[in-house]
Structure 1
Amino acid sequence: MTLSRRKTLALLGGGLIVATGAAAGAFAMTRTPSKALAPWNAAGDYEDPRLFALSYALLAPNPHNRQPWLIDLEKDNQFTLYRDKTRDLPHTDPYHRQIFVGLGCFLELMTIAATLRNRTAKIELFPESPADPIARVQLAEGGDVDPLADHILARRSCKEPYLDKPVPEKIAIELGRYGTVFTKNGEVDRIKALTWEAWLTEMHTHRTLKESVDLMRFGKTEINADPDGIDLGGPFLESLMLAGILTRENQLDPTTTGFQEGIKLYRKMLAATPAYIALTTSENNRKDQIDAGRRWLRLNLETTRLGLALHPVSQALQEFDEMEPHYRQAHELLANPGETVQMLGRLGYGPMTPPTPRWPLATRIMNE
Structure 2
Amino acid sequence: MSLSRRKTLALIGGGCIVAATATAGYAVTRRPNQALRPWALAGQYAEPRRNALSFALLAPNPHNRQPWVVDLSQDDEVTLFCDPDRVLPETDPFSRQITIGLGCFLEVMRMAAAQDGYRVDLDLFPEGEDPTTLDHRPIARARFTNDPNQRPDPLFAHVMNRRSLKEPFDTTRAVLPTELATLRAAATATTFGGSIKPDDIAIYRELSHEALRIEIETPATYKESVDLFRIGHREVDANPDGIDFTGPMFETLHMTGLFTRDVALDTTSMAYTGGLDAVFANTDTAMGHIWLVTKTNSRRDQIAAGADWLRLNLAATDIGLGMQPLSQALQEYPEMAELYHEIHNRLAPNGGTVQMFARIGYGPQVAPSPRWPLEAKLVQT
C-alpha displacement at 1:301, in angstroms? 0.5
Residue in structure 2 matched with residue 212 of structure 1 by the alignment: 225
Moved more, 3-12 or 220-229: 3-12
For the pair 1:80 / 2:79, whether they are aligned, the reply is: yes
Q: Secondary structure at the match of 2:212?
A: helix
C-alpha displacement at 1:17, in angstroms? 4.2
| TM-score, normalization by structure 1 | 0.94
Residue in structure 2 matched with residue 127 of structure 1 by the alignment: 126
Residue in structure 2 matched with residue 297 of structure 1 by the alignment: 310
Q: Secondary structure at the match of 1:300?
A: helix
For the pair 1:284 / 2:289, whether they are aligned, the reply is: no
Residue in structure 1 matched with residue 45 of structure 2 by the alignment: 46
| TM-score, normalization by structure 2 | 0.91
C-alpha displacement at 1:79, in angstroms? 1.3
Counterpart CA distance in 2 for 1:50 and 1:275 is 38
Residue in structure 1 matched with residue 158 of structure 2 by the alignment: 151
Contact 1:314 1:344 in 2 (8 A): yes
Counterpart CA distance in 2 for 1:12 and 1:190 is 30
Residue in structure 2 matched with residue 332 of structure 1 by the alignment: 345
C-alpha displacement at 1:269, in angstroms? 1.9
* Among 208, 211, 224, the residue aligned to 1:195: 208
The amino acid across from 1:42 in the alignment is: L
Structure 2 CA distance for partners of 1:284 and 1:243, relative to 1, 3 Å: same
Contact 1:10 1:18 in 2 (8 A): no
Contact 1:9 1:240 in 2 (8 A): no
Q: Deviations over 1:132-189 (max 9, x none)?
A: 1110001111211111111111000000011121111111122223321110011111
Q: Deviations over 1:97-133 (max 9, x none)?
A: 0010000000001011112211111111011389511
Counterpart CA distance in 2 for 1:13 and 1:291 is 43
- Give identity over the alignment, percent: 47
C-alpha displacement at 1:280, in angstroms? 0.7
Counterpart CA distance in 1 for 2:94 and 2:8 is 41
Q: Deviations over 1:191-249 (max 9, x none)?
A: 11111111110101111111111111111111100011111111122222233221111
What do you get for the CA RMSD once the two structures are aligned? Answer: 2.3
Counterpart CA distance in 1 for 2:152 and 2:326 is 31
C-alpha displacement at 1:89, in angstroms? 0.7
Q: Secondary structure at the match of 1:55?
A: helix
* Among 309, 323, 329, the residue aligned to 2:322: 309
The amino acid across from 1:303 in the alignment is: A
C-alpha displacement at 1:276, in angstroms? 0.8
Counterpart CA distance in 2 for 1:52 and 1:255 is 48
Contact 2:240 2:371 in 1 (8 A): yes
Aligned length: 367
Counterpart CA distance in 2 for 1:6 and 1:323 is 30
Contact 1:69 1:103 in 2 (8 A): yes
Residue in structure 2 matched with residue 32 of structure 1 by the alignment: 31
Moved more, 8-17 or 114-123: 8-17
Residue in structure 2 matched with residue 170 of structure 1 by the alignment: 178
Moved more, 254-263 or 17-26: 17-26
Structure 2 unaligned spans of 5+:
129-134
Contact 2:11 2:271 in 1 (8 A): no
Q: Deviations over 1:3-46 (max 9, x none)?
A: 24499969889745436999898566x32101101100011111
The amino acid across from 1:272 in the alignment is: T
Structure 1 unaligned spans of 5+:
none
